Structure 1
Amino acid sequence: MSRDIAVLGAGMHPWGKWGRNFVEYGLAAARAALADAGLTWPDVQYVAGADTIRNGYPGFVSGATFAQALGWNGARVSSCYAACASGAQAIATARAQILAGLCDVALVVGADAAPKGFFKPVGGDRPDDPDWLRFRLLGATNPIYFALYARRRMAMYGATLDDFAAVKVKNARHGLANPNARYRKEVTLEDVRESAVVASPLRLLDICATSDGGAALVLTSMDFARKHGIADPVRLSGLSTVTPTFPKTVVDLPDFATDSALAVPAPERPFRASLAHAAYEEAGIGPDELSLAEVYDLSTALELDWYEDIGLCEVGGAEELLRSGATALGGRIPVNPSGGLASFGEAIPAQAIAQVCEMTWQLRGQAEGRQVEGARAGIAVNQGLFGHGSAMIAVR
């Protein structure tokens, strides 16, 4: 049985620090996606909201919040939170409704108004919360984890500071042509080298910012798309939200300890690689058939890890792949042609949705100024907290 659904509409509110309510960003993105699909709000039968947990009660029930703001139309709603994978979980929920035959047209929306600085635990003092404990007990803020990943690449595979900086240079160049990107400025290796150290070896320009922004998709059944005269839409053909396989190993940071797992055989694949593998199996394609990839570059070093996790090269080969130019526009497999988080910053519930927006525009040939020539298939991947992550494959 085919699991394909059609992506008929994609829309975004530009990323930045606008200082407005997150609902405004989500509404703008939703209206843009509906216009792109050639549909209106009364056509929508299901709304899947990706939650923001830093914007009060409306953020916790985002599906209903956006439905109310658009005007109650009787659509069914859902709201979900999965940290950085929230948008992908919302897409998965809408996809399941469509494939089950419970609706034909679904609207997926995510938006955020992010605080300044790195994201902190919410809810006050919570000594039974691992997310709170890693900050207070270990001092392990997100940039610290990013730095641990970077040190691991340096120790195991010979990555250099200039390799990390080259990822930023590449993504900043890609983002120049993206009207939705927050940062649209050329960056040099020297700019990265001279930026302040945040968590050694990573500097300020190695780490993504926190941003405001919104993204939305109109997803439909294939039958609906064909009945409305769209014979060859962009299709979501694979979507994976698998959890890690026990035991998690040092490759799968962050965990407080792994000693208790030493007697258990290691899983066949580390967590991020298992996400991609499950999506490839569902879509029936392999990494050699990809035209582009959108990966969650929370830091420059993490982008290199993703090259290996999604099968673009062998383990330990990411630096050579980057240095060859293969992952830049015009190369064999452009990575983050949108500009990635390096150009956008992180608006948590919107980001995975934004990745599918970019794949949609690329596969349609509408990514002006950053178009991957002849794009036919793409993968978008991210990792959230506590075993949440996603891999989504779009084809045309």
Structure 2
Amino acid sequence: MSVRTDNRVTVAGVGMHPWGKWGKSFVEYGVVAARAALADAQIGWSEVDLVVGGETVRNGYGGYVAGATFAQALGWNGARVATSYAACATGAQALDTARARILAGLSEVALVVGADTTPKGFLAPNAGERWDDPDWLRFRLLGMTNPAYFALYARRRMDLYGATSEDFAAVKVKNSRHGLANPNARYRKQVSVAEVMSSAVVCDPLHLLDICATSDGAAAVVLCSPDYARRHGLVEAVQVAAISTVTPTFPNTVIDMPLLSTDAPPPSSPEGEESALCPSRNRTFKQSIAHAAYEEAGIGPDDVDVAEVYDLSTALELDWMEDLALCKEGEAEQLLRAGETTIGGRVPVNPSGGLACFGEAVPAQALAQVCELTWQLRGQAHGRQVDDARVGITANQGLFGHGSSVVLVR
């Protein structure tokens, strides 16, 4: 592959509001994160010409018009506004909206904000009947909440690859250790395999500590054009090299189960270099998300130094390692057991602590991943730093055909 540089924008600043259960308005969290990102970028609010908000549908009308909500809360400055929604991939889609306007020459400095206030218990689908939505169907017809859904993924790994409950617990142990040094994490406590295994069984084979919580929190990213970056001395800053938000391709519309063979070569090999905008019929949806990101960035999985992936359950982290082609199918457990996915290993996964330590704050979590990778690539992830990190990738999956992957480079 040939490395692309013509589609890059600069990450000028990042910021977060710590995750937790604070019981306050999502707007308050978003403003804290936005101001932190602006301060990190050393850019004044008056210089921002675009605000993109991650929509949070549970928080009333202000959540539906999040871009304008955050712009008003920060003080109207004349900036254009936009709002994005893509379930758990919302933050990446909002980031892509900002990037597109910058690359089109229509914006120089964009502020992207995602924030959420979540209810207790399981996240349920929004009101209304959607008979063509597989997620609505599994909730309404099967009564299958997310933990039950995650358990099917976990059982599939056990049946196909010989994964064990102890392997899943080891993912939680690793991420809990990583999260100890993250000041924005909600859960900062080291746990053992025995503690995970002795926690309540929520949906066999998953225990309570295998599954992430729901949380309040916020994250924000300031993007700027290459020209603005040059004028302000940001030439060595982290850059966004790719954002993938591809949808499934018929007939492989089931997220993880291709209807055809799955022996397609990995994205980094010459034989696999077909158009990512029309993914191979051999790829699952999640594999096509990663392939599109690699193709757009002009890199392959062998170039990745660090990854932040969507660990709604411990078993899902193992799936994403393979979907990102960081290892072959069925090999994720081997890398985990060998310590290759921990800090100091070949390709550390979730050095932030992941959702295991944060919980879900839906519109913010894809942006939180970008924040973490920015700190990692800058060498600022104190206490959890991945040595010599130059390339990072994220992965997220959302309801109803949403998903995302962001590639950051330095």
TM-score tier, shorter chain, comes to over 0.9
Is 1:345 the equivalent of 2:359? yes
Q: Equivalent residue of 2:138, what SS?
A: helix
Alignment counterpart, residue 295 of structure 2, candidates 266, 281, 291:
281
AA matched with 1:25: Y
Structure 1 range deviating more: 206-215 or 134-143: 134-143
Task: Say if 2:176 and 2:188, in contact at 8 Å, map to a contact too.
Answer: yes
- Distance, in Å, in 1 between the alignment partners of 2:29 and 2:41 is 19
AA matched with 2:288: S
The answer for unaligned runs of 5 or more in structure 1 is 259-265
Alignment counterpart, residue 11 of structure 1, candidates 9, 12, 15:
15
Alignment counterpart, residue 23 of structure 1, candidates 11, 22, 27:
27
Is 1:48 the equivalent of 2:45? no
Q: Equivalent residue of 1:57, what SS?
A: helix
Q: Equivalent residue of 1:7, what SS?
A: strand
AA matched with 2:188: R
Structure 1 range deviating more: 4-13 or 277-286: 277-286
The CA deviation string for residues 191-226 of structure 1, in whole angstroms up to 9 with x for no partner, is 100111111111110000000000000000111011
Q: Equivalent residue of 2:58, what SS?
A: coil
- Distance, in Å, in 2 between the alignment partners of 1:37 and 1:251 is 37
By how many angstroms is 1:252 displaced? 2.1
AA matched with 1:126: E
By how many angstroms is 1:302 displaced? 0.4
Cross-structure match for 1:392: 406
Is 1:134 the equivalent of 2:138? yes
User: Which 4+ runs in 1 deviate beyond 4 A?
Assistant: none
Cross-structure match for 2:376: 362
- Distance, in Å, in 2 between the alignment partners of 1:352 and 1:314 is 25
Is 1:320 the equivalent of 2:334? yes
Structure 1 range deviating more: 151-160 or 113-122: 113-122
Is 1:210 the equivalent of 2:214? yes
CA-based RMSD: 1.6
- Distance, in Å, in 1 between the alignment partners of 2:168 and 2:189 is 18
By how many angstroms is 1:63 displaced? 0.2
Is 1:221 the equivalent of 2:197? no
Aligned CA distance change for structure 1 residues 247 and 105 (closer, same or farther; 3 Å): same
By how many angstroms is 1:128 displaced? 4.3
Aligned CA distance change for structure 1 residues 22 and 139 (closer, same or farther; 3 Å): same
- Distance, in Å, in 2 between the alignment partners of 1:355 and 1:52 is 18
The CA deviation string for residues 161-204 of structure 1, in whole angstroms up to 9 with x for no partner, is 00000000000000000000000000100110011111111111
AA matched with 1:356: V
By how many angstroms is 1:386 displaced? 1.2
Cross-structure match for 1:180: 184
By how many angstroms is 1:282 displaced? 0.9
Cross-structure match for 2:109: 105
The answer for unaligned runs of 5 or more in structure 2 is 260-279
Cross-structure match for 2:83: 79
Matches within 5 A, 1:243-254: 243-248=247-252, 252=256
Q: Equivalent residue of 2:11, what SS?
A: strand
Count of residue pairs brought into register by the alignment:
386
By how many angstroms is 1:133 displaced? 3.2
- Distance, in Å, in 1 between the alignment partners of 2:179 and 2:93 is 26
Cross-structure match for 1:262: none
Q: Equivalent residue of 1:56, what SS?
A: helix
- Distance, in Å, in 1 between the alignment partners of 2:86 and 2:252 is 19
The CA deviation string for residues 340-390 of structure 1, in whole angstroms up to 9 with x for no partner, is 000000000000000000010000000000000011000011010111100
Identity of aligned residues (%): 69
Cross-structure match for 1:374: 388
Cross-structure match for 1:261: none
Task: Say if 2:15 and 2:35, in contact at 8 Å, map to a contact too.
Answer: yes
Aligned CA distance change for structure 1 residues 338 and 273 (closer, same or farther; 3 Å): same
